[in-house]
Chains A and B, each alone.
Chain A
Amino acid sequence: MNPRPPVPGDAAPSHTGPSTGPSPAGGRRRPSSGSVLRCGLAVLPFIGMLVLIPFVNRVEPYVLDLPFLLFWIVVWVVLTSACMTVVYLTDPANKAGGQA
């Protein structure tokens, strides 16, 4: 369940795991190309759903019967899921035994 022993002499308790990755609280390990990729994928949805909103705030054209703004958001929700699937599949933390 919790195989990792507490780090001795750890004055400021912290999470110690190999999978910190590019979280907002990202560890200070040297980034591998894989973690750069995952970081980029995680940022994409934020660009789609925050940065680009002012440019897609319109009703027309309708796509798949949806007003354009709503269509745009739906597409990005699906893409978020796709991005996170790639992140999951390429993250070494999820390999067999990567339980941390």
Chain B
Amino acid sequence: MNAALPVLIFFFAGAIGLGLYSRRGKDMDLEQWSVGGRGFGSIFVFLLLAGEIYTTFTFLGASGYAYSNGGASFYILCYGALAYVFSYWLAPAIWRYASKEKLVSQPDWFERKYKSRNLALVVTLIGVIAMIPYLQLQLTGLGIIIEETSYGTIPRNVAILLGGIALATYVVISGIHSAAWNAVVKDILVLIVVVMIGIYLPIHYFGSIGGMFSHIQAQQPDFLRLHEPSHDTGWFVTSILLSALGFFMWPHYFGAVYSSKDAKTFRRNAMFLPLYQLVLLFVFFVGLTAYLVVPGLTNGDLSLLRVSRDALPSALVGLIGAAGLFCALVPGAMLLTTSATMLAKNVYKEVFPQASSARVGLVARTMVPVVTAIALYLTFKGGAAIVNLLLLGYAFVTQLFPSMVMSLLERNPVNKWGAGAGMVVGAVIVAILTLGKYSTGSVLPFLPESLHHLNVGVLALIANIVVCAVVSLATRHQTATASPEPEAVSIG
């Protein structure tokens, strides 16, 4: 009767099998487990970096956002393309230094550049805190997929729990290798599924894609542009900017960069990856079709699977679910590998410096179920919409951007005090504003109306840069390193 679930289970078993297969003949020490022994070629790196594009967020979140907010969702198409422009120069610079210094994690970078272990600890905490909503997002997505493809037989919470356990198991076994191999399957599957339903569903219901758009325009004029005050152009532009800057600051992105064999890979990828983003277009088509066909869902993230269930046979729904499953597993594996590596290497190893590397590797694996459990707990306590979880994570992780970019300068005017103070202030502001659901207009009511809905992450970023500059200036005599030009350069 329901063919969807068997299809899903088949692919799930395949994913685990591939994860196990990928570790064959590898001595899984920490460098192998977390950055693949730095031996990944173009295609793997391409797919690991593209893993950032096709996550549960894209699959369910982007369609859900299009379903709930119309034109505002188009921001998702922009920021990735802009991020790859940065990556052309940024990624090779990161890679060059990291492979020279044999870095494994993102905090290693800050420790080496700013010569401060405490700063590395701050970076670890910010990174792990930012990754938890991102992981929650994958788990929420897994839960939705399993629940929907089982046509409601498996309740959501059981589904989330199952997904979390499976994810943790396969990460413990094969680390980033599992992500790399599954990324290949994932991208092929997603490409086929998304293009297929993105074209088929509008045609099935409205005759053509243009027909679908004119139905929406007739039903709710302006839905297809930025029309809500809370999602005005100020919000749109700042959210794109913040996400494009934050893109590189994800700890797992650093891990993917480290895993490359050479630097040219990144420059080559910068040409192609923006085009790869266009697949999102089809995701929008699905979300907008759902807006007309299955109106009234309180949770927009369900829209893609709900409309597919209405229009397609259950075996195909299973295939769609399988694509979504890989979308959750691959980034989930990267997030878990990275956060566990950071906790083991930059926290445990700092506290117990005499610990053997085998022991650190063991601690890293032990951290996987711990981090998973925290994310599961928070997901059960209260799930937010997928896009909001992502925006929160981005706002957090972007706080690393100023001191990261400054550390690339030959003579960095920012010192460890400035970097640390800026990050902490930025992160605290993000946390307060986001958790308290403040908008820019409510914090700074004197701003003109058009700026009232700027992404609050931007306020935190500005505060971060100011604090970073002031503290660096004030403490410039305390650091012995030569920095003859202490004037702070603010970058935006």
A interface list, Cβ under 8 A from B: 1-2, 4, 6, 11-15, 17, 19-28, 42, 45-46, 49-50, 53-54, 57-60, 62, 65-70, 73-74, 76-78, 80-81, 83-85, 87-88, 91, 93-94, 98-100
Given contacts A57-B225, A69-B225, A84-B274, 11 further A-B contacts (CB under 8 A): A13-B101, A24-B89, A25-B409, A53-B236, A65-B209, A70-B74, A77-B277, A81-B275, A83-B85, A84-B85, A100-B263
Stretch at the interface among B7-15, B92-100, B176-184: B92-100
Interface residues in B394-439 by Cβ distance below 8 A to A read 405-406, 408-412
In the complex the two chains form, is B84's CB within 8 Å of A84's CB? yes
A25-B267 contact, Cβ under 8 Å, with A77-B77, A84-B274: no
Asked if B213 and A66 make an inter-chain contact with CB atoms under 8 angstroms apart, the answer reads yes
Question: Min CB distance, B394 to chain A, in Å?
Answer: 16
A20 and B319 CA atoms in complex are apart in Å by: 44
Choose one: B85, B92, B208, B410; the contact of A42 (CB below 8 Å).
Answer: B85
Are the CB atoms of B262 and A99 closer together than 8 Å? yes
CA distance A60 to B223 in the complex (A): 12
Chain B residues lying within 8 Å of A69, measured Cβ to Cβ, are: 71, 74, 224-226
**Cβ-defined contact, B409 with A58, below 8 A:** no
Closest CB-CB distance, B208 to chain A, in whole Å?
7
Q: Report A-chain residues with C-beta under 8 Å of the C-beta of B224.
A: 59, 67, 69-70
Interface centre among B209, B262, B271 (most CB of A within 10 A): B271
Contact at A42–B88, with CB atoms within 8 Å?
Answer: yes
Contact between chains at B408 and A25 (CB < 8 Å)? yes
The reply to whether A49 and B96 contact each other, CB–CB distance below 8 Å, is: no
A50 touches B241 (CB 8 A): yes
**Are B270 and A84 in touch, CB under 8 angstroms?**
yes
**Residues of B193-212 whose CB lies within 8 A of A:** 208-210
In the assembled complex, the Cα of A69 lies from the Cα of B272 at a distance in Å of 23
Q: Is the interface of B mostly helix, strand, loop or mixed?
A: helix
Residue ID in chain A nearest B226 by CB atoms:
A57
**Complex Cα–Cα for A91 and B261 (A):** 20
Is A80 in contact with B96, judged by CB distance below 8 angstroms? no
Q: Report which of B81, B213, B278, B483 forms a contact with A12, defined as CB distance below 8 A.
A: B483
CB distance from A25 to the nearest CB of B (A): 4
Chain A to chain B contacts (Cβ below 8 Å), 20 pairs: A1-B261, A2-B99, A14-B97, A14-B409, A17-B93, A28-B410, A46-B82, A46-B85, A53-B237, A59-B217, A59-B225, A67-B213, A67-B225, A69-B71, A69-B224, A70-B74, A74-B281, A87-B88, A99-B264, A100-B96
* Across-interface contacts of A46 in B (CB, < 8 A): 82, 85
Q: How far is the CA of A57 from the CA of B90 in the complex (A)?
A: 31
Cβ contact of B100, chosen from A6, A21, A59, A60, cutoff 8 A: A6
Q: How far is the CA of A49 from the CA of B483 in the complex (A)?
A: 37
Cα–Cα distance between A69 and B222 once the two chains are bound (Å): 11
Q: Closest CB-CB distance, B400 to chain A, in whole Å?
A: 14
The yes or no answer to B482 lying at the interface (CB within 8 A) is yes
Among residues of B, the one whose C-beta sits closest to the C-beta of A89 is B271
Residues of B with C-beta under 8 A to A74: 77, 278, 281
CA distance A48 to B84 in the complex (A): 15
The answer, among B93, B241, B263, B274, for a CB contact under 8 Å with A25, is: B93
Q: What is the bound-complex CA distance between A74 and B88, given in angstroms?
A: 21
**Contact in complex: A20, B412 (CB < 8 Å):** no
A66–B25 alpha-carbon span in the complex (Å): 50
- Closest Cβ of chain B to A3, distance in Å, is 11
Determine whether the beta carbon of B210 is less than 8 Å from that of A93. no
Contact A24 B86 (CB under 8 A): yes
Beta-carbon contact of B410 and A21 below 8 Å: no
Q: In whole Å, how far is B492's beta carbon from the nearest beta carbon of chain A?
A: 9
B221 at the interface (CB under 8 A from A): yes
If A25-B93, A42-B88, A88-B271 touch, does A62 touch B409 (CB 8 Å cutoff)?
A: no
- A91 vs chain B, min Cβ distance (A): 7
**Which one of B71, B88, B213, B217 has the greatest number of beta carbons of chain A within 10 Å?**
B88
A93 to B264, CA, bound (A): 8
Contact of B77 among A73, A87, A91, A100 (CB under 8 A): A73
B97 touches A13 (CB 8 A): yes
A49 to B226, Cβ gap below 8 A?
Answer: no
